[in-house]
Amino acid sequence: MENNTDTIYINRILDGDTGAFKFLVEKYQKMVYTLALKLTGNKEEAEDAAQEIFVKCYRALSSYNNRASFATWLYRITYNHAIDTVKKNNRKSHIEKRDSGAEQAEIENHSFDEKIDLKDVRVLLKDAIHRLSPDDQVIVALYYYDELPLKDIAEIMGIKENNVKIKLYRIRSKLQELLQSKNEIISILNL
């Protein structure tokens, strides 16, 4: 159904109705911007990149074939463009720059200082997701938010489906580990 609506608008654009592109921009702008932000780590840069991505997408629309869904095709453009932007600016993403030791201390302090409940676990997990590498954050967004199949995520990131599976496993393990240590703290405090 989703794809059908996209196809209808794509056909309208290809028939010369440029205004129909607005529908696609409004529908996908949040995910495109989110992915760009996760990869560039800078709001302004992400917004510029997202704008360029949509223009690029519009210009290349005639080459889009229905082999993959429009979303997958657009996200692939997004991923490649954002990676190029980071490379062009010759810097590593903001998240990689962070000191992992400091992060761990921050998490631990957070655990002991405040009242521990499920809400707290959620906050901790949210923090942990934010601290994942940009690529891992992209996978989390595509898999858990957009609920895209692994095959599509692999297509977007230009890697093999098995690699996505492995990355997801590592992400889960990392977060699971964090939760387990949190549970241990809860059980100790309950005693």
d(CA 99, CA 121): 22
Which part of the chain contacts another protein (CB under 8 A), choosing from 87-95, 96-104, 108-116, 166-174? 166-174
Q: State phi, psi for 16 to the nearest 5 degrees.
A: 110, 0
Q: Are the C-beta atoms of residues 186 and 114 closer than 8 Å to each other?
A: no
Q: Which C-beta is closer to another protein: that of 96 or that of 177?
A: 177
In the complex, minimum distance from the CB of residue 11 to another protein, in angstroms, rounded to a whole number: 9
Which part of the chain contacts another protein (CB under 8 A), choosing from 82-90, 91-99, 103-111, 137-145? 137-145
In the complex, minimum distance from the CB of residue 69 to another protein, in angstroms, rounded to a whole number: 16
CA 122 to chain centre: 19
Q: State phi, psi for 99 to the nearest 5 degrees.
A: -80, 120
Query: Which secondary structure element, helix H or strand E, spans residue 28, and what is its range?
Result: helix 21-40
Interface with another protein, residue 162, by CB under 8 A: no
d(CA 148, CA 139): 9
Which part of the chain contacts another protein (CB under 8 A), choosing from 22-30, 84-92, 99-107, 108-116? 22-30
Tell me the number of residues near another protein by CB under 8 A. Answer: 43
Tell me the per-residue interface mask from 100 to 129 with another protein, x by CB under 8 A, - otherwise.
Answer: ----------------------x--xx--x
**What tokens does 59 get?**
């210009």
- Sort 86 into a burial class: Cβ within 10 Å, 0-12 / 13-18 / 19+: buried
- Which residues are CB-neighbours of 27 under 8 A, at least 6 positions away? 6
Q: Interface residues with another protein (CB under 8 A)?
A: 13-16, 18-19, 21-22, 25-26, 29-31, 33-34, 37, 46-47, 50-51, 54-55, 58-59, 61-62, 76, 80, 122, 125-126, 129, 140-141, 144-145, 158, 169, 172-173, 175-176, 179
